[in-house]
Structures are given as structure tokens and as C-alpha cells.
Structure 1
Amino acid sequence: MSKKILIIGLGSIGQRHLRNLISLGYKDICLVRRNANVLKGFSKLKVFKSIFEACKNEDFNTAIITTPTANHFKDFLDISNYNIQNIYIEKPVTHSVEESLKINEIATQFSLNVVVGYDLHFDLGLLKVKELLHENTIGKICSFQVEVGQYLPDWRPNEDYREGMSAKKTLGGGVMLDLIHEFDYTNWLFGPIKSVFGKNKQISNLEIETEDISINIIETQQGVLGTISLDYLQKELSRTCKIIGDQGTIIWNYKESKVLWMTHNNIVWQEFIFTHIERNDRFVSIIKAFMDSSFNNLDERLSTVNNSIESLKMVVCAKKSNKENKFLEL
């Protein structure tokens, strides 16, 4: 069956998905964006001002939602009215657990293929880490340290960071939702999660309404203890995960495209290096996997709505924990 695709929202990630779909050979693509001017290089594509207008004029079987997080729920509800079977929602699924549960309910009721865009599941380094853990390379997992930070004004150099989604509470911004990848892959590698203690605040001189620092302590159902540290502040990108087992250690370094591991029986660092992979390759991989998937045939690397609810619960619990100053169970 041929794919007729509607992309809703055309910010930086929407443009990336559009270019990648075209590179994969998909041509039957329409756009929904508030500014109906077609981007340079895409003059042949039809652009509509609303989902209603698009679906009134065309029949789609695939939709990709890349609007601000706070709009995801409404956009999904609008899309679900038009019998569109394949829906990709950029992460996070929403900023509300209640909304995400409703999306999951609708997706299940109507057998919709709904995927949430956690592209780090396609990072070769994290896939290698998952393989090493599956093989019990470092024995029983005891603890982990997850960390990511990058200076917000550098994220999108051609945009004013103060006006973007990250800076606005009403749009679902803040370092915890922006960098929810870290909560997601923590659950993916070590879950299920039992409890969270979080501290987060806006502490720097960035001109934003949202938190720019988030420090969290995590306990899994298996009794593993870990930390997740997020910030909008580090001028040089830092993104790492260190896992300590009772028989060794694994380190994933995203920036250096490298996984290192050492065991008690082999005290020499072994390396898995994937510097030949470009950042966009994993975005190509995830959108291709989505386009090749269906409700009953889903690539195991793809995140369902049900999967994504768990990481959202972690964020919501961490924010509530900050206010109540205590550990909270998921």
C-alpha cells in the first residue's frame, strides 16, 4: 500500500523528517503549518493551514505530528477523526499523563499504529549497551549515572531561544521534557522504575520560564540506584551514561560515539566505536522503521505510546517530588 503522508508542524524536527522521507523516496507528502508559505526547496508540496483543511481535501494514511508538546494531544485527536492508521508523534507524547493515557486508549481501541519519536533507541552506542547488559557482561547492575547538558541558545542558532518551545511553560518546555530521552532510555535499559526523587529549578541567567537544571535519583523495581542529571547550560555538549555492575563497568559517550567496558576478569577497556555514523542516520532509521511498521508488526526499537507513558510518569513524578521534597513511587 502506498503512503500518503501529512506532516503537522514544520519546525526544525519537522523539516528533518520531511527531508529524510524525501531521501527515502516518499513523494506524496502534504504539510500543515500556520505560515502557509512553502519552505525553500519544497515548492511542489501542498501546504494547508489546518488538519481539517488538509483532511477535507486529501485522504491520508500516515501522519507525523511535530508541533510543540502542548499541542500533541489536540493534534492527535484531530488526526484520529480521519481514519489515519499510522501516526508518528515526536517525543514526548504529551506533557500530561492523563492525555497520554487517552491517546493510548484511542490507539488501542481503533488498532492505530502510533509511534513516539525516541530516536536514541536507534543510536548504535545505546544498542551496544543494551546488548552488553543482555549478555550479563558486567554482572548484576548496581547503579547508573545518566547525564546530558548543552547550552540552550546554541540549540537552534537561527532562532531566539527566548521565543522557542523550550523557554515557554505553556508550550510544554523545560529541560525535563526537552531532554526526556534520558528518562526514556533509563527505563528502556533498567526499568521498570519504582520511585523517583527530583530537584529542578530555573537557576541560571537564561531568560526562560522553565527549569534549566534537573537532578534526579532513581530506584528501579530490581533495586538498582541511579541518577539522571539534565541542564541547558553546558557550552560544550555532554551526554553520557555510566553503568556499574558487580563484575564491571560500561560507559556510553554520545559525543565521542564510543562505548567502553571493563570487567573484573579483564581489566583492559574494550571499545565499540561508531564515529562513521552521522547524527541524522538515526533519524533516518527511526522514520524508516516507522514507515515499514504496522499495528501488528512493530520494530522492537520503536517506542509505543504505552512505553512513552512510563518516561512521562518519571518526569511528572520528579516534578511533583521537587514540590513535596520526598521520594515518590510511580
Structure 2
Amino acid sequence: ISHSMARIDELRAAVKRGGGQVLVGFQFRFHPGLRKIADWLKDDAIGRPLSVRAHWGESLPDWHPWENFRDGYSARADLGGGVVLTLSHPLDYLRWLLGEVESLWAFTSSQSNLSLPVEDTAEIGLGFVNAVIGSVHLNFTQRPPVHKLEIIGAGGTIRWDNDNGAVQIYRGEDGQWEMISPPDDFSRNDLFLDEMRHFIDLAEEKVDSLCTLDDGEQALYLAWSVLRSSKSGGMVAGKLSLEGLNE
């Protein structure tokens, strides 16, 4: 919803005053693989979730090779750049899949030779309200690009790979992996098309928002808490205070 927590309350008041609908643009909530994982977790397919690991790394200069990557928002602090805010999607979809985060710690730095004025690498530890522990790794440097997720449960394991879109599940009682691939004609653009269709349905009051203003605020809140933890060198825990998050 923004690169800053400032004025979110004004946005919320404007939405309430105007009676509008809000869909925050976290398109991975529309990925068929992640939606399948949501169904599996709802059905206790791997028992109680115990731990989770998300890894997303890709070379920033390769995103738009036809332009100077240093001019884009991802590389500029004044536009909300840095790997934490730019690649904040895992912070959103982990909340969606596993529930609220109650504590976190983080290290961030500029590890590469890109000479960016923002962080290009982050290592984040998460403690969830339901006792799941997890971690997120983000970077602007990795070649080839990698975006993967693994959830370990008391009765099995789930894996997702954004490269091929496939999800895998290992149920302990079966003793073997099952893989589900997306449709043959699936492409990344389908996430945005499905998101737009959902927004039209939302505007026509046919559905509830799959990613609400509250969801967007909380994802941004977590991202700024990551930056706060890295700056302070300490854990951010409990009811996180908004004060100082944008400093």
C-alpha cells in the first residue's frame, strides 16, 4: 500500500468515508501453487506446521536490462527501495498461510558490488503466534533467480518453487512425494489477470477482498519492523509499536 507507515490512518479514513473497496496488490495470493498450499494447511495435510523457510533472490540488474537499474524505485531509498520493502511478498503470504507474527529479528546489509544506497540482502527470523518458527532470505544479487518456500509439519513437508510453479507434498503415512504442476498455459501474467478479475468482482460486491487494507498495512508493518530490528540490532517482539518505524 505504501513505502511508509505515515498517513495509513488517513487512507483508512478515506476508504471508510467513501465506502470504497480495497485490494492490496500482493499478487502471489493468486498463485495456484500457494492457493493449493493454503488448502493443504487448512485440511491439516501435513499436521501441525512447525517451521517455514522462504528464499527469494534475483539479480536486480537483470530485472529490466534495457534500463539503468539504479534509477528504478528498488534501488532508491527515497522511493521506498531496498530488498526488504521491494520483495516484501513473503512477509504477506506467510501471514496469509500461517497466521500472525509476534516477534522477529533481522540482519540487513549491502553485500554486493552494486553500490546501492539501500540494503540488497536480508536475513529475517520470524516467530508466529501459533508457535511456528520461520525465516526469510531476500537478496538483489542471485543468479539464476530463486524463489522457493518450504513448510515442515508434524506429519510431512510442503515445497513450492516459483520457477516452475509446482508444489510438492510429502505425507508421512504415504512415504512419497506428490507433485502438482500449474496448468500448461500458466504464466506469471496470470497472477495479475486473476487479481484484476478479483478486483472487478470485489467492486461489484460479489466477493470479499483476498488481500485487505489490514493485510497490506500488516505486511508493511512487518517490513518496517525488519528494518527497525536490523538498525537496533535487537528482536522486535510483542505488540509492535509503530513509533519510530519510519525513522
TM-score normalised by length of structure 2: 0.92
Are 1:113 and 1:295, in contact at CA under 8 Å, matched by a contact in 2? no
Instruction: Select 1:294's aligned residue among 168, 190, 203.
Output: 203
Where 1:117 maps in the other structure, the secondary structure is coil
CA RMSD of superposed structures (Å): 1.4
Q: Deviations over 1:7-62 (max 9, x none)?
A: xxxxxxxxxxxxxxxxxxxxxxxxxxxxxxxxxxxxxxxxxxxxxxxxxxxxxxxx
Deviation at 1:105, TM superposition (A): 2.5
1:127 is aligned with what amino acid? R
2:81 is aligned with what amino acid? G
1:133 is aligned with what amino acid? L
Aligned counterparts, 1:219-238, within 5 A:
219-238=127-146
Q: Does 1:127 align with 2:35?
A: yes
Tell me which residue corresponds to 2:192. 283
Are 2:75 and 2:118, in contact at CA under 8 Å, matched by a contact in 1? yes
Are 2:58 and 2:143, in contact at CA under 8 Å, matched by a contact in 1? yes
Tell me which residue corresponds to 2:61. 153
1:269 is aligned with what amino acid? W
Higher relative CO (Cα under 8 Å, sequence separation at least 6) belongs to 2
1:171 is aligned with what amino acid? L
Instruction: Select 1:241's aligned residue among 141, 149, 152.
Output: 149
CA distance in 2, matches of 1:97, 1:243: 30
Are 2:54 and 2:150, in contact at CA under 8 Å, matched by a contact in 1? yes
Aligned counterparts, 1:71-86, within 5 A:
none
Deviation at 1:114, TM superposition (A): 2.1
Deviation at 1:187, TM superposition (A): 0.8
Q: Does 1:100 align with 2:8?
A: yes
Deviation at 1:149, TM superposition (A): 0.6
TM-score normalised by length of structure 1: 0.69
Stretches of structure 2 that go unaligned for 5 or more consecutive residues are 241-247
Instruction: Select 1:162's aligned residue among 51, 55, 70.
Output: 70
Instruction: Select 2:175's aligned residue among 261, 267, 272.
Output: 267
Are 2:101 and 2:127, in contact at CA under 8 Å, matched by a contact in 1? yes
Are 1:103 and 1:305, in contact at CA under 8 Å, matched by a contact in 2? no
Are 1:248 and 1:263, in contact at CA under 8 Å, matched by a contact in 2? yes
Stretches of structure 1 that go unaligned for 5 or more consecutive residues are 1-92
Are 2:170 and 2:178, in contact at CA under 8 Å, matched by a contact in 1? yes
Where 1:316 maps in the other structure, the secondary structure is helix
CA distance in 2, matches of 1:313, 1:298: 26
Are 1:147 and 1:238, in contact at CA under 8 Å, matched by a contact in 2? yes
Tell me which residue corresponds to 2:164. 256
Which structure has the larger Rg over C-alpha atoms? 1
Q: Does 1:187 align with 2:187?
A: no
CA distance in 2, matches of 1:98, 1:162: 25
CA distance in 2, matches of 1:95, 1:267: 45
CA distance in 2, matches of 1:101, 1:218: 26
Q: 1:205 to 1:134 in 2, by over 3 A?
A: same
Are 1:289 and 1:299, in contact at CA under 8 Å, matched by a contact in 2? no
CA distance in 2, matches of 1:299, 1:114: 10
Tell me which residue corresponds to 2:112. 204
Tell me which residue corresponds to 1:118. 26
Kindly tell me the number of residue pairs found equivalent between the two proteins: 237
Are 1:113 and 1:294, in contact at CA under 8 Å, matched by a contact in 2? yes
